[in-house]
Amino acid sequence: MKIDFSRAVSLLKENDNFLILTHANADGDTLGGGFALLLALRGLGKKAKLINNDPIPEKYRFLIAESDDVPEESGFVVSVDVADKVLLGKEINEKFGSKVSLAIDHHSTNKLFAKETYLEGDSASVCEIVYLIIKELGVKIDGEIATRLYTGCSTDTGCFRYSNVTPRTHRIAAELIEFGARHGEVNVRMFETKKPGFLKLQSLCLASLELYFEGKVSVIVVTQKMLSDCSCGEEDCDAIVALSRQIEGVRAGITFKEKKDGSFKVSVRTHEGLDAAAFCSAFGGGGHARAAGCQFECSLEEAKKAVLDEMKKYF
Amino acid sequence: MKIDFSRAVSLLKENDNFLILTHANADGDTLGGGFALLLALRGLGKKAKLINNDPIPEKYRFLIAESDDVPEESGFVVSVDVADKVLLGKEINEKFGSKVSLAIDHHSTNKLFAKETYLEGDSASVCEIVYLIIKELGVKIDGEIATRLYTGCSTDTGCFRYSNVTPRTHRIAAELIEFGARHGEVNVRMFETKKPGFLKLQSLCLASLELYFEGKVSVIVVTQKMLSDCSCGEEDCDAIVALSRQIEGVRAGITFKEKKDGSFKVSVRTHEGLDAAAFCSAFGGGGHARAAGCQFECSLEEAKKAVLDEMKKYF
């Protein structure tokens, strides 16, 4: 069931012991929003614990904040930035997928899997929503909370670069900097620090680049071997995915990322006029208008063929 | 002579025929601010003409707005984003270098070459200043003016990424988007569109990369031959310069760009703790704390040696 802003705030006010869930393959927005909410709730004298499916990648470890000891059976479960319970990750979905009391999200494709969902489909990041909720809760926002929220605002917009940015996004960023967000440091970590191995990965990926539909669709493949050859991990793929759309003339960039079990995650990035979420929904995936994803259990060649066949409908 | 905000506004109100100058090797900030000011002055029923030294690069041509026919002898000369008259470029400096009545600038190294200078050394871009001046002039800001000002705000901050960004930067961006700035389109043009040739240039530059001082200083060389081999121009170097600082562990990125006459322009980009403007001032150059430049008339090897010798003082 969808709820309004004040109901979401009330639910957080009324409860005292929280379990906060992020999505699997956690990024800056789900972790920034999750840990900011945790700090805010603790600031109100409540107990909160953040639980996620995978080890947190090195580049996001600065977002981690101390959790309380909240019993997993009795906590009030809140998910942050999770559009569907399967996106919690296998283990967390099995444990908590049907026990989420409140989902706070900005994916218009949210499956309303939680008991109550506060959804702003046109918010550039979940951190914008968490910021407004935290303010309404009357929490004193310090540099620790502000830095985490800023990280989500920045990472989910490519540092204010994408068309999902609204005037509200910029005004919230201004306020977060005033509250002490370490914006320069965050952006250096997120965008301005390239490992030599990443630069090698980028070269390999560009060598694998294929263009289809008269250069309007790019296809990049990232295999586990490429990642290990370059000492890179899953978290390095985001910048490769972004690159797929940055090539002149490309309207849709498609990245096939091989997972450890040999299956493929497909990330789609589009420019105006091509709905990435609608495209990925043909394969049971989802996301946003300009950035979406889906999964394939078949071989790379089969996945590629399916994706390019579907793309024919758009060109 | 330095003047205050209201004096700068008065000078623009009192005069009727303007010649607006940008710096040579024009970028998004000088052109965005210059053409926005031109449109604003024309909106007040005044005449204005923008004059610059070089052909405007393809990627910035969308910023061009129609000039009036203002006689070069009698116009009130305003420079935008110009720290020193030699930066006007040879021809424009000869003609107008000693005739600038008002300089609007954000370089703390401004040489006060103009009759009167309105300087905000801590403004992230000159477009922030021009925006505030235009508002004070009472001009109705439309999408055309807003898009040009947004371009400067975005390009001079690496799209809100650098530590020069202040809360004011974000608030002005919010207002410009509300005034109709086509922010998504600007950022796609400025940051999200990479020519295949540029990607090739990037590979060549990374192949030329040298690290000094235990990896804390990177040196990248861009020659005219590399540019022509990759069908790239001067305007493609900005992203290479940005890359020089993005390598993990690097505190100062130095790019040597060969000019058409065989001399070298050196661009320095630093992280906190190393003042790029102070460093470049040793060679008669200047700029900002994190981004500065200087010129060398000698050979590449001599220029490199001089720069690395100077760098010893910092490590």
Q: Which residues of chain B register pLDDT less than 50?
A: none
pTM of the model: 0.85
Q: Give A170→chain B minimum CA distance, Å.
A: 5
Label residue B35 exposed, middle or buried (CB < 10 Å: 0-12, 13-18, 19+): buried
Q: Which two tokens stand for residue A165?
A: 């940015």
Residue A207 pLDDT > 80, yes or no? Answer: no
What single string gives the DSSP state of each residue in A62-87?
Answer: GG--PPP---TTTSEEEEES-SSGGG
- pLDDT at site B112: 98
Q: Output the six-digit token pair for A293.
A: 């994803």
Q: Which residues pair with A295 in a beta bridge?
A: A265
Could you report the per-residue pLDDT of A18-69, keeping only the tens digit for each? 999 999 989 999 999 999 999 999 999 999 999 998 899 888 999 999 999 9
Q: Do β-strands B252-258 and B217-222 pair in parallel, antiparallel, or remain unpaired?
A: parallel
Note whether A231 contacts B: Cβ–Cβ < 8 A.
no
For residue A251, what is the nearest residue in chain B, using CA coordinates?
A: B193
Chain A, nearest residue to B158 by Cα: A159
What is the model's pLDDT at position B272? 87
Residue B210: phi and psi, rounded to 5, are: -125, 145
Four-residue CA torsion sign, B38, B40, B42, B46: negative
Minimum-distance CB partner of B167 among A174, A188, A272: A174
Distance CA B28, CA A190 (A): 24
For chain A, counts of helices (H) and of strands (E): 12, 11
Each residue's pLDDT tens digit, A150-203: 999 999 999 999 989 999 999 999 999 999 999 999 999 998 888 878 888 888
User: How far is the CA of B189 from the CAs of A179, A213, A251, B63, B249, in angstroms?
Assistant: 32, 21, 13, 12, 30
Average pLDDT over residues A268-288: 94
Asked whether B26 and B238 are in contact (CB, 8 A), the reply is no
Q: Confidence band (pLDDT; 50, 70, 90) for A121?
A: very high
pLDDT on residue A118: 98
Torsion angle defined by CA atoms of residues A134, A135, A137 and A138, in that order, rounded to the nearest 10 degrees: 130
Q: Across residues A121-137, what is the average pLDDT? A: 98
To the nearest whole Å, the CA of B43 is away from the closest chain A CA by 25
More confident residue, A208 or B304: B304
Do residue B187 and residue A246 have CB atoms under 8 angstroms apart?
no
Per-residue buried b or exposed e for A260-291, using 16+ beta carbons within 10 Å of the residue's own CB? eeeebbbbbbbbeebbbbebbeebebbbbbbb
Q: How is the beta sheet containing B17-21 ordered, strand by strand?
A: B47-51, B17-21, B76-80, B102-105, B116-119
pLDDT at A192: 81
Q: What is the pLDDT of residue B195?
A: 84
Quote the minimal CA–CA distance from B68 to chain A in Å.
33
A102-105 and A116-119: which strand pairing?
parallel
CB contacts under 8 A, B 125-184 vs A, are 154, 158-163, 165-171, 173-175, 177-178, 183-184
Spatial separation of the C-alpha atoms in residues A62 and A43, rounded to whole Å: 19
A167-178 and B167-178 helices, crossing angle to 10°: 170
Contact B118, B105 (CB under 8 A): yes
Would strands A252-258 and A264-270 be described as parallel, antiparallel, or unpaired? antiparallel
| Mean pLDDT confidence for A89-100 | 97
pLDDT digits (tens, 9 = 90+) for B29-40: 999 999 999 999
Interface touch B194/A247, C-beta < 8 Å: yes
Give the C-alpha separation, B70 to B51, whole Å: 11
Name every residue whose Cβ is closer than 8 Å to that of residue B283 and which is 6 or more positions away in sequence: B266, B294, B295, B296, B306, B307, B310
Distance CA B23, CA B93 (A): 10
pLDDT (average), residues A206-210: 83
- Please list, in sequence order, all residues whose beta carbon lies within 8 angstroms of the beta carbon of residue B107, skipping any fewer than 6 positions away: B81, B83, B119, B121, B286, B287, B288
Decide if A198 contacts A232 (C-beta within 8 A): yes
pLDDT at A182: 97
User: B177: which chain A residues are within 8 Å (Cβ-Cβ)?
Assistant: 165-167, 170
CA dihedral defined by A42, A80, A2, A15, rounded to 10 degrees? Answer: -20
Contact (Cβ atoms closer than 8 angstroms) between residue A54 and residue A30: no
Q: Give the per-residue pLDDT at A94.
A: 97
- Band of pLDDT at residue A101, cut at 50, 70 and 90: very high
- Cα angle B294-B297-B300, degrees, rounded to a multiple of 5: 85
What type of residue is B218? S
pLDDT value for A128 = 98
Of B161, B163, B199, the CB nearest to A159: B161
- Residue in B171, B127, B168 with CA at minimum distance from that of residue B146: B127
Closest residue in B to A184 (Cα–Cα) = B163
ipTM of the complex: 0.84
Question: How many Cβ atoms from other residues are within 10 Å of residue B211's Cβ?
Answer: 14
Beta bridge partners of A247: B194
Separation of alpha carbons A258 and A301, rounded Å: 12
**HSE-up of A167 (CA within 13 Å, CB side)?**
10
CA distance B216 to B273: 12
A170: chain B residues, CB-CB within 8 Å: 170-171, 173-174, 177
**Nearest CB to B206; choose among A171, A199, A271:** A199
**In what side-by-side order are the strands of the sheet with A264-270?**
A210-212, A217-222, A252-258, A264-270, A291-296, A286-287
Number of C-beta neighbours around residue A53 at 10 A: 18
At residue A235, the pLDDT reads 81
A291 neighbourhood in chain B, CB within 8 Å:
none
Those residues whose C-beta lies under 8 Å from the C-beta of residue A109, and which sit 6 or more positions away, are A83, A84, A277, A281, A286, A287, A288, A292
What are A23's two structure tokens?
């999505």
- H helices present in A81-223, as ranges: 90-96, 126-137, 143-155, 167-178, 183-191, 196-208
